[in-house]
Amino acid sequence: MFFSIVSFLYLILRIEGYSTSNNSSGGIEKTVLNSSTEPRFRRKLETPTRALQAPFPDGLNGGNLITLPPRKHYLKQKSSSNLGTDLADSFILPARDIKVWTPPEYNDPKYADLRYPVLYVHDGQNAMQDSSSWTGYSWRLAGALTRMAERKQLKTNEHSFPPIIVMIPSATDRLAFVPRRHLEYGDISTAFSQAHADFVGLTLKPLIDEEFRTMPEKEHTSTIGSSLGGQASLNLLLRFPELFGKDIKKSHLLPYQDGP
């Protein structure tokens, strides 16, 4: 069956006047034939050649990674509650680097005036590079988004380029026997979770909008997370509905309470 399908496809291509072959760069070459079936010229097909299916490629996929050190954000922490304004040195919200991925086209002079939506990612160390993921296998977010962009499947901007991705790493230490990640991503009524949400909404987002060409409006600002990271994303949406317009949860964990 497989060979009959391939043969039929080959016949159609011959009738249409061209044949296809793989080239060394990973694309597909299109050979236009004249009446004597001799090659006249070659050019690459415009259609994408990378499959839109997992596993997606690891790494930055042509984008750039910028590290924002704590002095640019955690040391300027703001709060909407009575937790204080400088939490960077406290046990509530320890400082850490923030990674920002910009799409391959971001630094292209041809698109110097183009602005991008922003995706804030919880458990950011798991988002893009296998080498930084605690599981050893990341979400490979850049690989998936760049392939979708090749097919114009992203409703991001006029060119369907990927969004800017802000990767917020979760804490890896413990307080007593409780992982700090569970505290920062957990019940929004706690000081730890409030401090994290306030940091993202009141300190980090204004910084990202100031330093990068973003679309700052809520309809262009999304947050994503898996498991407890999904709950942290929902916390952001509920705490700052005027700042975040979309929430993506993957295998999210929500607390269950019996009774009213």
Residue 50 is encoded by which pair of tokens? 């990378």
Tens of pLDDT, residue by residue over 126-143, are: 999 999 998 889 999 999
Torsion angle in degrees (nearest 10) through CA of 131, 137, 139, 140: 60
Cα 40 to Cα 237: distance, rounded to the nearest angstrom:
58
pTM of the model: 0.76
Domain ranges of the chain: 2-44, 64-250
- Asked if 49 and 28 count as a contact pair (C-beta separation under 8 A), the reply is yes
Q: E strands within the chain? A: 18-22, 28-33, 39-44, 64-68, 98-102, 118-122, 164-168, 174-175, 178-179, 221-226, 246-250
**CATH class assigned to 64-250:** alpha beta
Helix (H, G, I), strand (E, B) or coil at 93: coil
Instruction: Band the pLDDT of 4: cuts 50, 70, 90.
Output: very low
pLDDT confidence tier of residue 251, bands split at 50, 70 and 90: low
The answer to whether 40 and 32 have CB atoms below 8 angstroms apart is yes
